[in-house]
């Protein structure tokens, strides 16, 4: 969809910064796909390609003391939060230099120094954690907001409802961000969700809720600013549903027989990267040279990340017995 907004609502430097975040996420993901093809990355790999405008629209608005918990399709969120792409790629390679010393892998990127408290493989599993982080923020008076990112699959889980209930009752500073990409693995949302609009679920818990076009980075940013401000000001949680589409399969091994090419094509025409690039050029917010420089820099950064990961050692054998939780 072409952007119709008269004003971008952000200054040129910010706009170029948003493009930079989206391009870096896509470059990271494309490099991951390439490295998976070369068998450098094993296990599950869920790519965020197509959904970049959501991460770029929300995450740069957070402050340093804020926290993020996410699902397993979290590389884009980590890049947007400023995690080191080299250490992230090393984590995917299972190397000792990785963000979790190579023992977490793609679904468990973690960096406490950035308040990035994990990708979670259990659908909905991050939601009670976010509620707890919200409670800790109020209890300790840190004013930190927790951004809780989950997919549409989590909405039908018990944790969703339990977390919404307590977060609202106790006025916890949590922004619940639903990335509704239309599918849970190979199942269309309509086949598993009895309600109509997922964003209406906030009403049951008196949580203010909004739905936004997750393919439009500026639209996402606008509502995210309000959501974060609401949570930080002590009014309690906010529920934001970003409607988007994942361009690739659920994970790398997915023939995508559950959706047709015509539907994919419709969404690909709404690809947030070329559309935002065009907008920046039309509004003279960036020159062709500046845009190309962003793209080249991202490509170099991710090539360096893969080289760093490849040159890194495997964890030593003794590391098997480290960082194990034991009562
Ligand atoms: C509690 C639980 N049930 C089932 C699964 C298996 N599973 C893995 S991914 C997935 C789909 C989740 O889809 P969604 O939340 O929409 O996220 P998306 O992959 O679309 O980003 C399921 C059911 C799981 N990981 N956890």
C-alpha distances in Å from residue 232, one per residue of 11, 113, 114, 254: 24, 21, 18, 40
- R_g of the chain computed on alpha carbons: 19
Question: Contact, 68 vs 115, CB < 8 A?
Answer: yes
How far apart are the C-alpha atoms of 108 and 105, rounded to whole Å?
Answer: 6
Structure tokens at 127: 């939601």
**Across residues 95-107, what is the average pLDDT?**
97
How many CB atoms are closer than 10 A to CB 136? Answer: 14
How far apart are the C-alpha atoms of 205 and 169, rounded to whole Å?
Answer: 8
Torsion of CA 327, 65, 302, 92, to 10 degrees: 10
How far apart are the C-alpha atoms of 59 and 79, rounded to whole Å?
Answer: 10
How far apart are the C-alpha atoms of 153 and 290, rounded to whole Å?
Answer: 39
Cα of 5 vs its chain's centroid, Å: 24
Q: Counting every residue, how long is the chain?
A: 327
Is 185 touching ligand 1 by the criterion CB < 6 Å?
yes
Distance 15 CA to ligand 1 centre (A): 33
Is 184 touching ligand 1 by the criterion CB < 6 Å?
yes
Task: Fold for 12-309, please state it.
Answer: Rossmann fold (3.40.50)
| pLDDT value at residue 4 | 42
Question: Contact, 214 vs 179, CB < 8 A?
Answer: yes
Measured by CA distance, the residue closest to atom 11 of ligand 1 is: 184
Distance 178 CA to ligand 1 centre (A): 13
DSSP state of 323: S
DSSP state of 7: S
* 105: region left, alpha or beta (phi > 0 left; psi from -120 to 50 alpha): left
Tell which atom from ligand 1 comes closest to the C-alpha of 189: 16
pTM: 0.97
Per cent of the chain over pLDDT 90 is 95
Q: Which of 62, 72, 67 is nearest to 229 (CA)?
A: 62
Cα of 144 vs its chain's centroid, Å: 19
| pLDDT value at residue 2 | 39
Tell which atom from ligand 1 comes closest to the C-alpha of 151: 15
How far apart are the C-alpha atoms of 193 and 181, rounded to whole Å?
Answer: 13
Q: Is the pLDDT of residue 167 over 80?
A: yes
Q: Is the pLDDT of residue 206 over 90?
A: yes
| pLDDT value at residue 3 | 42
| pLDDT value at residue 327 | 77
Outline where DSSP puts E strands in the chain.
67-70, 116-119, 146-151, 174-180, 183-184, 187-188, 209-213, 238-243
DSSP state of 98: S
Pocket test for ligand 1, best of 185, 214, 241, 256 (most atoms within 8 A of CB): 185
Distance 153 CA to ligand 1 centre (A): 6
Is 152 touching ligand 1 by the criterion CB < 6 Å?
yes
Contacts of 229 (CB under 8 A, 6+ apart): none
Q: pLDDT tens, 59-88? A: 999 999 999 999 999 999 999 999 999 999
Is 77 touching ligand 1 by the criterion CB < 6 Å?
no
* Beta strands at 187-188 and 183-184: parallel, antiparallel or unpaired: antiparallel
| pLDDT value at residue 132 | 98
How far apart are the C-alpha atoms of 115 and 183, rounded to whole Å?
Answer: 28
Q: pLDDT tens, 246-304? A: 999 999 989 999 999 999 999 999 999 999 999 999 999 999 999 999 999 999 999 99
How far apart are the C-alpha atoms of 51 and 277, rounded to whole Å?
Answer: 15
């Amino acid at each position: 969809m072409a952007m119709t907004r008269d004003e971008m609502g952000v200054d040129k430097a910010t706009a170029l910064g948003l493009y930079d975040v989206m391009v870096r996420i896509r470059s990271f993901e494309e490099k991951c796909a390439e490295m998976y093809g070369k068998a450098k990355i094993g296990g599950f790999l869920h790519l965020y390609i197509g959904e970049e405008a959501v991460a770029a629209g929300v995450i740069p608005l957070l402050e340093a003391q804020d926290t993020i918990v996410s699902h397993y399709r979290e590389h884009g969120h980590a890049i947007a939060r400023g995690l080191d792409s080299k250490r992230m790629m090393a984590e995917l390679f299972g190397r000792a230099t990785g963000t979790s010393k190579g023992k977490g892998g793609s679904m468990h990127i973690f960096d406490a120094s950035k308040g990035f408290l994990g990708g979670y493989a259990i659908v909905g599993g991050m939601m009670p954690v976010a509620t707890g982080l919200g409670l800790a923020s109020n209890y300790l008076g840190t004013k930190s907001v927790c951004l809780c990112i989950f997919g549409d699959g989590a909405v039908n889980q018990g944790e969703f409802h339990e977390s919404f209930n307590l977060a609202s009752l106790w006025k916890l500073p949590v922004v619940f961000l639903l990335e509704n990409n239309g599918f849970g693995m190979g199942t269309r949302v309509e086949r598993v969700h009895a309600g109509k609009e997922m964003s209406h679920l906030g009403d049951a818990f008196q949580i203010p809720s909004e739905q936004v076009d997750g393919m439009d980075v500026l639209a996402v940013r606008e509502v995210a600013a309000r959501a974060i401000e609401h949570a930080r000001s002590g009014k309690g949680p906010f529920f934001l549903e970003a409607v988007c589409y994942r361009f690739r399969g659920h994970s790398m091994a997915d023939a995508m027989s559950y959706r047709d090419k015509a539907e994919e094509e419709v969404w690909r025409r709404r690809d947030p990267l070329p559309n935002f690039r065009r907008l920046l050029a039309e509004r003279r917010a960036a020159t062709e040279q500046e845009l190309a420089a962003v793209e080249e820099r991202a490509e170099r950064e991710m090539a360096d990340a893969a080289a760093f990961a490849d040159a890194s050692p495997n964890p030593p054998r003794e590391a098997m017995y480290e960082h194990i939780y034991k009562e």
